[in-house]
Structure 1
Amino acid sequence: MSVPPPSSHGPRTAASLTLHLHRLGVRPGDTLLVHTSLRSLGWVCGSDETVVRALLDAVGPTGNLVVPTQTSDNSDPADWGNPPVPEAWWETIRTEMPAFDPAITPSPHMGRVAERLRTWPGAVRSAHPQTSFAALGPNAAELMHPHPLASALGEDSPLARLAKADARVLLLGTGYDSCTAFHLAEYRVPHPPTGPSSCAIRTPEGKREWVTYNGVVLDESDFPALGAAFEATGAVTVGRVGSATARLFPLTEAVTFATSWLTEHRS
């Protein structure tokens, strides 16, 4: 389903972006998992701060906003490829990588809007050292906690609780390759592949520790094809927010479709 495009003229403001979000189908009281490309929106008066304000205005005081605040740098350097680092550095990185701290560890690869929401007054962040989320809203704490190490994006993660809360996904200028919700489906396919992952954590005693845990191997390489197939079912509302192409859809429906699609299309 598509909605008519808004006017393409003038700077983007909190009021105009909120209007566009409502035209897309965002409603007061919604719980949204949001992926955003700030640049795609056009010139925004107030930049990322304005986008967060517009999203908050769109869902209202009873709604919840959630963004991924993943920290992929907190991982084994032996697995880095974009870019790789010399093998001679690996042990130093494993020894010196700062332990994840939900209050201060940045998420620079997730975009400016996600980082702005992470630091917004009242934001609650989950505790996973690699795949955390941050949330604003009356249900933020119960959506974010707990987030155990072995369930990065699985059944004990905020992602699964968002599914149970009938959350919707908002892709704001981003593609399906950014759709974190599809990762939950990777946990639900029969016999998902697993492997080790390492990171620096802070123990309950306050000490830094480098740990290795076993988890589902995540792979978003086929998410664009998966997303196109899901969109073809008619479950996705497509429209414009600012200058960005936006997509809005139910998280649970997306995960159910993705589980079947991945089961069929992956070896």
Structure 2
Amino acid sequence: MAGQLSDLGVEQNGALLVHASMRAVGSVSGGVRAVVAALRDALGGHGTVVVPAFTPENSDTSPHYLDRVRGLSDRARAAVRASMPPFDPATSAAPSMGRLAEAVRLTEGAVRSDHPQTSFAALGPSARKLMARHRPDCHLGEDSPLARLYDLRAHVLLLGTGFDTCTAFHLGEYRVAAPPRRTYRCVVTAGGRRQWWEYEDVALDDSDFATLGADFARSDNGAAVRTGPVGSSTSRLFRFTDAVDFAARRLPSHRGRVPVQTLCPAHG
């Protein structure tokens, strides 16, 4: 598998943001930990792997919560809110991010950023630098690991997933003129006590990312995106900067002709 990743174009000693579907990758001897090892092997001793470790489960403004409480009484909704644990970067699981992301997060030496809803986890020599200073009122913008991945000219690997999972496009949302904003709310710990925290940030929306990604893959006669097999999956590799810059250019006109939602299922 490390050979397949290298053939796809994963660079030694680089930084790699990975979105993965283990179901698409298929059966692997050694399971998900072997896939993590293959990624690190392909990156070499000075490479860093990064994964999303988002936690929409601790927010009452997320689609995850709205789906959970739909049809419940006011009392039942209040009970759900009361049971939601505050975010803890050391212990909060990220079950909606998939098995590979959780395996990276739980690997000894992994570093996690501090955002209470859209944290990332990283393994490798650049992990601490990439995860540092993730401002709590900036999901995926200039004060998040995405901006530092951009500066490092990292790559994005869609390991058996589609462009609908491509968080690099979210940084493009921040880089359009006057992006729409909305209010978010989640459970945090402050002063040793559990409390709700409300803040405003860019209105994240991934409902058109699959279409945007298809346009991106066709741009420059397809030269920006490399496609190949990894395990049983068809995977894609591309430069982080290329994806962000394409999104920032295309989103204004793209969303002028495609109806979009105002909530991103992975955030909220």
TM-score of the aligned structures, taking structure 2 as reference length: 0.90
How many Å apart are 1:92 and its aligned residue?
2.9
Aligned position for 1:211: 197
Is residue 94–residue 210 contact of structure 1 (8 Å, CA) maintained in 2?
A: no
Which residue does the alignment assign to 2:8?
Answer: 24
CA distance in 2, matches of 1:84, 1:46: 38
Q: Which of the residues 192, 202, 217 maps onto 2:179? A: 192
Residue of structure 1 aligned with 2:41, choices 39, 57, 74: 57
Contact 1:28 1:59 in 2 (8 A): yes
Map of 1:74 onto structure 2: 58
Give the match for residue 96 of structure 2: 109
1:242 aligns to 2:231 (yes or no): yes
CA distance in 2 between partners of 1:149 and 1:87 (Å): 31
Letter of the 2:241 partner, please give it.
T
Amino acid in the other structure paired with 1:144: M
Which residue of the partner structure matches residue 137 of structure 2?
Answer: 150
Q: Which runs of 5+ in 2 are unaligned?
A: 257-268
SS in 1 for 2:18: strand
Q: Is the 8 A contact 2:69 2:77 kept in 1?
A: no
Say which of 177, 180, 198 aligns to 2:164: 177
State the AA in 2 paired with 1:22: S
Answer yes or no: is the 8 Å Cα contact 1:95–1:210 preserved in 2.
no
Richer in helix (by share): 2
1:84, distance to aligned residue in structure 2 (A): 3.8
- The Cα of 1:265 is off from its aligned counterpart by 1.4
Equivalent positions of 1:223-242 (< 5 A) are 223-233=209-219, 234-242=223-231
* Offset at residue 242 of structure 1 (A): 1.0
Q: Counterpart of 1:27 in 2: which secondary structure?
A: coil
Q: 1:90 aligns with which of 77, 82, 102?
A: 77
C-alpha distance in structure 1 between counterparts of 2:113 and 2:144, whole Å: 9
Contact 1:77/1:84 (8 A) holds in 2: no
Q: Which amino acid aligns with 1:264?
A: S
Aligned to 1:260: 249
Q: Deviations over 1:140-175 (max 9, x none)?
A: 011001111211101100111111111110000000
* Other structure's SS at 1:98 match: coil
Query: Are the counterparts in 1 of residues 56 and 62 from structure 2 also a CA contact under 8 Å?
Result: no
The amino acid of 1:92's aligned partner reads: A
Q: Which runs of 4+ in 1 moved over 6 A?
A: none
SS, match of residue 57 in structure 2: coil
- Distance in 2 separating the partners of 1:64 and 1:251: 14
- Does the CA-based 8 Å contact 1:102-1:125 persist in structure 2? yes
Cα offsets for 1:38-87 (capped at 9, x unmatched): 11112111111111010011101100000001011111168534444425
Q: Which amino acid aligns with 1:223?
A: F
User: Per-residue deviation at 1:96?
Assistant: 3.3
Aligned-partner Cα distance in 1 for 2:66–2:241: 32
